[in-house]
Amino acid sequence: MLKTNRVGYWYGDAENKLFENVNLEFLKGRLYSIIGKSGSGKTTFLSLIAGLARPSEGSIEFNGRELSKIGLLNYRKKCVSMVFQSYNLFSYMSAIENILTAMSITGSKNAGNKKYVLEMLDQVGIDEASAKRRVSRLSGGQQQRVAIVRTMCCDAQLVVADEPTGNLDETSTKDVLSLLQKIAHEQQKCVILVTHELDVAKACDSVIELHQKKFEYV
């Protein structure tokens, strides 16, 4: 689904490359984790594959088309869904409103289908009363489940998650991880996450380490 061709990136000075000659392929139906030391460039790499920035060199293809040809705005809207450590929900909206808004903006095939969203939320243990409450009143674990259901309800085929369990306790981490596995294995999307937690990394289908400017399968 996603392929990087000789990708390199640097901020400012080309002599200080964060990584170079990255040739990776990410397939649908699989969950990938990216690990590496703090400051090695993991989040930067995610921002490239999420279409938030362009590679300094090389190119990225989504389903055989270069991102520059798809157009980054269009790519971000239609092809990629993001999950963040800090949830990134509209705090003044309810869970249902957050999800319906994202579905509407991205033109999801189920846009406007409130019943479908309520069923999806119910499946992750968020009942109708909680789904109608402002998300700021939900726990961190519940907010991250809302963010992941948002991803599940949207049609984007690629899911990119930066430290999705970084703020969660052990139980919520397990819940979130099993949802990400479901997105990859049942919804047949491609999920790529960055994590510092070895247990989370090991639960993924493939582990890739960014070390000394190179990405290697562990």
Is residue 151 within 8 A of residue 88, CB to CB? The reply is: no
> Which range of residues in 37-45, 90-98, 115-123, 150-158 is near ligand ATP by CB under 6 A?
37-45
Of the candidate residues 4, 26, 32, 36, the single one contacting ligand ATP (CB under 6 A): 36
Cα–Cα distance for residue pair 208/187, rounded to 1 Å? 22
Pick one of 19, 31, 42, 195: the residue that binds ligand ATP (CB under 6 A). Answer: 42
If one asks whether residue 38 binds ligand ATP (CB under 6 A), the answer comes out as yes
Structure-token pair, residue 87: 């949830």
- Nearest approach, Cβ of residue 40 and ligand ATP (Å): 4
Residue 217: name the closest of 65, 30, 1, 91 by CA: 30
Q: Residue 119: CB partners within 8 Å, gap ≥ 6? A: none
Is-contact 138 86, C-beta < 8 A?
no
Measured CA angle at 118 (ends 97, 165), to 5 deg? 75
In this structure, the dihedral spanned by the alpha carbons of residues 91, 95, 101 and 106, taken in order and rounded to 10 degrees, is 110
Q: Does 93 bind ligand ATP (CB under 6 A)?
A: no
90 contacts ligand ATP (rule: CB under 6 A): no
Of 8, 18, 84, 166, the one binding ligand ATP by CB under 6 A: 18
With binding defined as CB under 6 A, does residue 188 bind ligand ATP?
Answer: no
**Residue from the set 43, 104, 123, 212 that interacts with ligand ATP by CB under 6 A:** 43
Minimum distance from residue 15 beta carbon to ligand ATP (Å): 14
Binders of ligand ATP in range 148-167 (CB under 6 A): none
Residues that bind ligand ATP (CB under 6 A): 11, 18, 36, 38-44
